[in-house]
Structure 1
């Protein structure tokens, strides 16, 4: 992920304003807003300031503020029920159980605002207004916004997130924005098992995509994720796009595989996210 402030996970094929109808046959992709040079600067700062102690035993409970943004009071309008939010947290906690992180739902609030639901996206004024009005807590608190991504820079997106290193420069922007129908039981198949939230929270705790940098040595700045030339789609077993290092990490939460294919973080990713949290959150 070449960027410091936010990443965007988008559905590029078959993009229509009819989302969130079933998304079978579409593919994820990621767009960024900052240059590789700024990512390099962020990594240099992180390497200079991260704690020089053993963080393997670090555990942390993160409070989650969930902001349901809907066009109206219907499910189709984005007003997802409490059970889908609770199930999202169950998936999130299960996916991060080996990392020492846990997530506790602090509060759910609901806002009927068709403008925000339809038009929120990276750098859009609607996003700024929404987060200014609703964001709660501090650097260590996770704010999740579920929206419709119908138009503008948000059209067709699955989600986007801020990195830990962006908090000091723009605390108000901190958080994760996801497509409301990507939650467990939603209609955004094959991305409706909750792994969009897991993936975006991965960025929020400082992880890059597994295919970051392609087959280069630095890659995603985690040594035990096999190099990967490009994102994986679907669940292509035994895919191997780089010489050496083994098969591509298609089951990793930070790849682009279908939700049902995602199932793991590596030990190296766990150590990195703990160091990122200790440095920034």
Structure 2
């Protein structure tokens, strides 16, 4: 989920065994989003689809994400995670160190020439991912790239998400299917959480705006950080501003609490009484791409643990 000024935490009720309206992708939005831009309608409610998804939205976007994570929902997800992690740890050690390599299947949805990303741009995105996740011990290997010329899917991937993913998703829990399309003027990207895979494996994956890849047309959000952010969700991370100043936050001990998502690059911002300035440079915040620089050691550990619990 991402970006500036919009707390776009989408909720997952899967861990609690409940159903909610079908997923609204984790949205990532750009600073040029128009106040008059309308969010696309949510899909019908279904117990067969993920209901959690993390999203990034553009600065100034008026889109409202439909499944914001409540304290109760996050608590249910955490209980499920901790239970699964304990079962895994009882049978084998879960290493916080060592490198984890994710196989990525890229699906470039385009409409004629529009959105038809070059292999060079895709290569630059992978360079960004491997640099961004290096300190966390996570790497990404391109398994294959498939180009899909489909005007409807390209122009409205949210409405057509089920048909698109059902046809194009490949691999198992440890494989990432990364889709690019035109997400409109508000959303930059969305992702599913690891705990959703068993219930809806075909819906697993990450969707990003084609214009958010390196060199794309979305000013301030065209350095590839949207994919980094959304894959962080796919690996089990919450937003750094989860729960605001109250609650247990993002369940990572070394990310200071903050009241709301950051916008731009507000150096020195400190919105909570808890120790530490707001983590505006963290990839799981909503700052501009150039402002985002790192994951913490705690986030790296959580990603490895989530992988062991749900994707290994």
Gaps in structure 2 of 5+ consecutive residues: 1-8, 15-22, 38-56
What does 1:140-179 align with in structure 2 at a 5 Å threshold? 140-150=174-184, 156-179=186-209
State the distance in 1 between where 2:175 and 2:123 align. Answer: 17
**Within the alignment, does 1:83 sit opposite 2:120 as a pair?**
yes
**Within the alignment, does 1:204 sit opposite 2:238 as a pair?**
no
**Within the alignment, does 1:60 sit opposite 2:100 as a pair?**
yes
State the distance in 2 between where 1:9 and 1:192 align. Answer: 15
Q: How many residues matched?
A: 266
State the distance in 2 between where 1:209 and 1:227 align. Answer: 10
Asked if 2 retains the 8 angstrom alpha-carbon contact of 1:24 and 1:190, the reply is no
**Which residue of 1 is the match for residue 162 of structure 2?**
128
Deviation (angstroms), 1:16: 6.9
Instruction: Give CA deviations for 1:40-79 in whole Å, capped at 9, x if unaligned.
Output: 222101111214345222421111100000111x2xx100
State the distance in 2 between where 1:171 and 1:206 align. Answer: 16
**Which residue of 1 is the match for residue 293 of structure 2?**
263
Runs of 4+ residues deviating >4 angstroms: 23-30
What does 1:104-123 align with in structure 2 at a 5 Å threshold? 104-121=141-158
Alignment partner of 2:258: what SS?
coil
**Within the alignment, does 1:236 sit opposite 2:266 as a pair?**
yes
Q: TM-score, normalised by structure 2?
A: 0.80
State the distance in 2 between where 1:16 and 1:66 align. Answer: 32
**Within the alignment, does 1:45 sit opposite 2:80 as a pair?**
yes
CA 32–94 in structure 1, closer or farther in 2 if over 3 Å, else same: farther
Deviation (angstroms), 1:237: 0.3
CA 15–270 in structure 1, closer or farther in 2 if over 3 Å, else same: same
Once superposed, what is the RMSD of the aligned Cα atoms? 2.2
CA 215–259 in structure 1, closer or farther in 2 if over 3 Å, else same: same
CA 29–195 in structure 1, closer or farther in 2 if over 3 Å, else same: farther
**Which residue of 1 is the match for residue 51 of structure 2?**
none
Instruction: Give CA deviations for 1:176-200 in whole Å, capped at 9, x if unaligned.
Output: 0000010001011100000000000
Compare relative contact order (CA 8 Å, sep 6+) and give the higher one, 1 or 2: 2
Q: TM-score, normalised by structure 1?
A: 0.88
What does 1:214-225 align with in structure 2 at a 5 Å threshold? 214-225=244-255
CA 100–142 in structure 1, closer or farther in 2 if over 3 Å, else same: same
CA 43–168 in structure 1, closer or farther in 2 if over 3 Å, else same: same
Aligned mate of 1:249, from 270, 275, 279 = 279
